[in-house]
Amino acid sequence: MHNCSNVNHRRRWRHDVFISFRGSDVRHTFVSRLRAALRREGVTSFADDDSRDLPRGENLKEAISRAIERSRLSVVVLSPNYASSKWCLDELVHIMRCCTSTSRAGHVAIPIFYHLSPEEVSGCYKEDLDRHKRRHTYERVDGWLRALAWIAGISGWVFPAAACQ
């Protein structure tokens, strides 16, 4: 767990947990069970797949960035297809900034390696990142690579290992 704790920032938290995940991999399985377990314990969570969490008429990217900033911690579910989504990668960059910025001290990141290990992160995502390199700027892809390396270096949980597809 990476902790940038500062008690003066507790008042700004709207959610206890922001969950970053690739919907097609884990929305109806792991994430739905995780959110139910958190609810049972009285922990508020934000996930962009729940219409109750996203205000209608707002810019989606801005609403998600604000939700990350207003959450005490982020759980990043790194599944085999996580890096195929530029949305997930942009979330991860913002999470990294919140954890490493002194002006946003207090944010914590917890990775969950779902069907891959921390050591597999760069290899599993190579094909997706190569595709992104053809469509996006060097700076954007480089930010994603740095964020992936950062999150892979944080101690988290590894769920049943299956080699990357």
Catalytic positions, please? 91
* Joined tokens for residue 119: 């050591």
d(CA 78, CA 124): 10
DSSP SS3 for 135: helix
Paired sense of beta strands 108-114 and 2-3, if any: antiparallel
Please measure the distance between the N-terminal and C-terminal CA atoms of the chain and give it in whole angstroms. Answer: 27
